[in-house]
Amino acid sequence: MPQLPTVAIIGRPNTGKSTLFNRLVGRRQAIVSEIPGTTRDHVAGVIEDAEVPYLLIDTGGMGGGTEDEKMEDDVHAQSLLAIEHADVILFTINSREELTASDFEVTDILRKRRRKHVPVLIVVTKCDNPEQMEMALPSYHELGIAEEIFPISAPHRIGTDELENAIAEELRKLHFEKDTRHETQETTTPRIALIGQPNVGKSSLINALMAEPDRLKSPKLVSDVPGTTRDATDTVIRREDKEFIFVDTAGLRKSAHSHAEELEGLSVLRTVQAIEHCDVAVLLLDAVKPVGKQDKRIARMAMEAGKGLILVVNKIDLLNTEKKAEKRTEIQTALMFCRFAPVLFCSAKTKEGLLKMFDLLEMVQRSRLRRISTAELHNWFGQAVQGGPMGSVASAKHITQAEDIPPTFVLFVKDPKKVQLSQLRFLDNRLRESFGFEGTPVRWITKRSAQTQYRSSFA
């Protein structure tokens, strides 16, 4: 997984942010049908098939679905998030309405506070009619923050190609390229994201790991080329002969919480980025706090992004044996949807259990890279479907593992539309009973068996 550049969409409500987001990520989502996931949090998506792949973030959706609903409307906070984290900013303006105080507020923040090399592209939305644009164009230029202005109509695909080209161009100027360098590293050096709510002990954990003698460490060497400097935020931890890259840890290492860091949304954005940049996510849970909505949301994000997942319960020095057992049960219930994830109890303070994390990380990374031969799968499938509620799936003609991470299985059936989620869940459970795949989500793709040529890869 390369260190992807981040493109952030900001703009006041009703300027078409999420329509633009969906249009830009749309192609990817059309390819993959994901199974264990429920609804996708439309907040972030990797645009892999772009000329220069990038992580797209809708900062307006950052607070959606959390206690932090204010964020939804808070352009001020969005702008700060974008300034802090984005390599390119897309600023949406609604062509059908007059510019409002909020639009000017965003402009003001961008003008005063953005880093000089971060380009802003103004995206004028809902331009189904070019005449509307002609009239409004001068006022957008007068805002004076964007070199280029892109009129688009996302639902009608007007102007979106031009916008995509411009994004690629800006990313190239920042020296981001389509880069396979990290993809080859992936098999050897797993990238780990340490995520969790504020105060759960992320900094303490990374510091405790850094303090372990003989095992560590060295912030990754980086070049000064803009765009590649992000790697400076990583921490490399060595244990015995193995290396683990903990991504996006700069803030954690320093324990420095900037002013913007205090914004609830920023920790969400940091989390989204860290998840997208990692192979395995380590979700920290607080031993003395109940599993919350936000914890579930983060776990779901990692799962839906296809990342490995380990649940680490920190601060167990505060629990007696009885409470530990209760905590385990609580986690099993609250996070039922990701029960493939191993659970580790530890304390960053006393270091109890800490080093076991590395064994789990190795195990999960192995699961993610594991390949089952087609012959073995065929054998397994015949037995797995026996006696199960499988309907027409039982007569599937072919199953194969795609060359993809996370493990992805392609099932060829007569009519993919008839395959039910419950049937795929059943298969998922049987697959795990037989082959493990601890700590990694597994994806299922169904295809029509009438196809003359079987493809071993769906992407």
Q: Which residues bind ligand GDP (CB under 6 A)?
A: 196, 198-204, 252, 314-315, 317-318, 347-349
Any idea what the Cα angle at residue 13 is, between residues 39 and 58, rounded to 5°?
45
Question: 68 or 438, CB closer to ligand GDP?
Answer: 68
Instruction: Determine whether 87 is exposed, middle or buried from the number of CB atoms within 10 Å of its CB (0-12, 13-18, 19+).
Output: buried
Q: Can you tell me the distance from the alpha carbon of 447 to that of 456, in angstroms, rounded to the nearest whole number?
A: 11
Asked if 258 and 267 touch (Cβ cutoff 8 Å), the reply is: no
Question: 254 or 455, CB closer to ligand GDP?
Answer: 254
The two counts, helices (H) then strands (E), for the chain are 14, 16
**Helix 75-85 and helix 264-276, axial crossing angle in degrees, nearest 10:** 40
Question: 183 or 317, CB closer to ligand GDP?
Answer: 317
CB of 288 to ligand GDP, least distance (A): 8
Any idea what the Cα angle at residue 432 is, between residues 430 and 438, rounded to 5°?
165
Question: 208 or 280, CB closer to ligand GDP?
Answer: 208
DSSP-derived letter for residue 190 is: -
Question: 136 or 348, CB closer to ligand GDP?
Answer: 348
CB of 274 to ligand GDP, least distance (A): 12
Among residues 55, 119, 46, 125, the alpha carbon closest in space to that of 89 is found at 119
For residue 98, the number of C-alpha atoms closer than 13 Å in the C-beta half-sphere is 2
DSSP-derived letter for residue 151 is: E
Structure-token match 């609580």, residue found: 330
CB of 441 to ligand GDP, least distance (A): 24
CB of 235 to ligand GDP, least distance (A): 13
CB of 320 to ligand GDP, least distance (A): 13
CB of 368 to ligand GDP, least distance (A): 25
CB of 364 to ligand GDP, least distance (A): 21
Q: How many residues does the chain have?
A: 459
Question: 249 or 408, CB closer to ligand GDP?
Answer: 249
Question: 198 or 382, CB closer to ligand GDP?
Answer: 198
Q: Can you tell me the distance from the alpha carbon of 222 to that of 432, in angstroms, rounded to the nearest whole number?
A: 40
Question: 307 or 315, CB closer to ligand GDP?
Answer: 315
Instruction: Report phi then psi at 151, rounded to 5.
Output: -75, 130
Among residues 391, 437, 446, 396, the alpha carbon closest in space to that of 417 is found at 446
When CB distances to ligand GDP are compared, the closest residue is 201
CA distances, 79 to each of 113, 238, 313 (Å): 9, 37, 34
Instruction: Determine whether 39 is exposed, middle or buried from the number of CB atoms within 10 Å of its CB (0-12, 13-18, 19+).
Output: exposed
Instruction: Give the tokens for residue 13.
Output: 């409500």
CB of 317 to ligand GDP, least distance (A): 5
CB of 253 to ligand GDP, least distance (A): 10
Q: Can you tell me the distance from the alpha carbon of 404 to that of 186, in angstroms, rounded to the nearest whole number?
A: 12
Question: 232 or 288, CB closer to ligand GDP?
Answer: 288
CB of 347 to ligand GDP, least distance (A): 4
**Beta strands 408-413; 398-401: pairing state:** antiparallel
Q: Can you tell me the distance from the alpha carbon of 353 to that of 216, in angstroms, rounded to the nearest whole number?
A: 18
CB of 351 to ligand GDP, least distance (A): 9
Among residues 63, 70, 55, the alpha carbon closest in space to that of 7 is found at 55
